[in-house]
Amino acid sequence: MTEQRRYLITGGTSGIGAMCARHLTAEGNRVWVTGTRDSSVRAAVQAGDAAGSSVCDVAEAATVETAFDEAVHALGGLDGVFLNAGIDGQGLPAEQLSAETFQRVLQVNVVGALHCAQAAYRRLDRPGVILINSSVNAIRPERHFADYNAGKAAVASLAQSLALDWSDQQLTVIALCPGYFRTRMTEQYLDDPQVSAELLARIPAGRFGREADVGATVSFLLSGRAEFLTGALIPLAGASNI
């Protein structure tokens, strides 16, 4: 039997965050999730996907601090965090982007990741793991997603920078770079036959990501057995060239 570990997942009520919460909980770990709505965080606990939850907007540092304190108090500490919370871009050509919305994407996806990483730094048991959800778009930008691409590239660089600063303090910092998984954020593209076919044509593995793919990967990266991967960007995209 594997050792029971204690994890916090931001944005853990939907999409990749929810997939990982279910997977980690099923393995016997204790998982705390955050989300932006009381109804969604309650539903995650009621479904048995998490041991507890907090309402949290990662762009607001005060709510991040409260959520981390609640998790530490309830779980008796934290061994790792999966900083997954984020929002999509506008899906528009660069010349049509709203600067205000662009700033919101960066505030949530980048500044939010910093808020959570700093909170984790102050609370994680050592040795500990900080896994940040970036995107394959950070490595290979996608057309009409300049805001999302830029934000996720910044998140990847942030993870590498934190690894430089913190790896000598028994903290492993890794960026996960997923490709297309079926989530609320991507279903509009995957449910469009033409768009779906175009995306699949650029994925050599011939399929989109599955819950087991990301669940098993995140489980390993958070397990404490990936210490020497600190500073790495881990693509999880079926060799996608998107």
Q: Dump pLDDT digits (tens) for 151-187.
A: 999 999 999 999 999 999 999 999 999 999 999 889 9
User: What percentage of the chain has pLDDT greater than the value 70?
Assistant: 98
Q: What is the mean pLDDT of residues 105-134?
A: 98
Q: What is the mean pLDDT of residues 139-153?
A: 96
Does pLDDT of 131 surpass 90? yes
* Confidence band, pLDDT 50/70/90 cuts, at residue 242: low
Give the chain's length.
242
219 token code pair:
């489980």
- Calculate the average pLDDT of the chain: 96
221 token code pair:
């990266």
Q: What is the mean pLDDT of residues 78-84?
A: 98
User: Measuring CA to CA, how many Å separate 36 from each of 7, 43, 68, 90, 163?
Assistant: 18, 12, 14, 20, 28
* Confidence band, pLDDT 50/70/90 cuts, at residue 1: very low
For 55, other C-beta atoms within 10 Å of its C-beta total 18
Ordered structural domains, the chain, with CATH: 6-236 (3.40.50.720)
Q: What is the mean pLDDT of residues 39-51?
A: 97
User: Residue 173: phi, psi to the nearest 5?
Assistant: -125, 120
Rg of the chain (C-alpha set): 17
- Please state the separation of Cα 40 from the chain's center in Å: 17
- Choosing from 7, 121, 148, 189, the catalytic residue is 148
Q: What is the mean pLDDT of residues 145-150?
A: 98
- In this prediction, residue 8 carries a pLDDT of 99
- In this prediction, residue 3 carries a pLDDT of 81
- In this prediction, residue 2 carries a pLDDT of 62
228 token code pair:
């020497």
Q: What is the mean pLDDT of residues 144-155?
A: 98
Inter-residue contact 199 to 207 (CB < 8 Å): no
More confident residue, 195 or 1: 195
Active site residue 7: no
146 token code pair:
């300049």
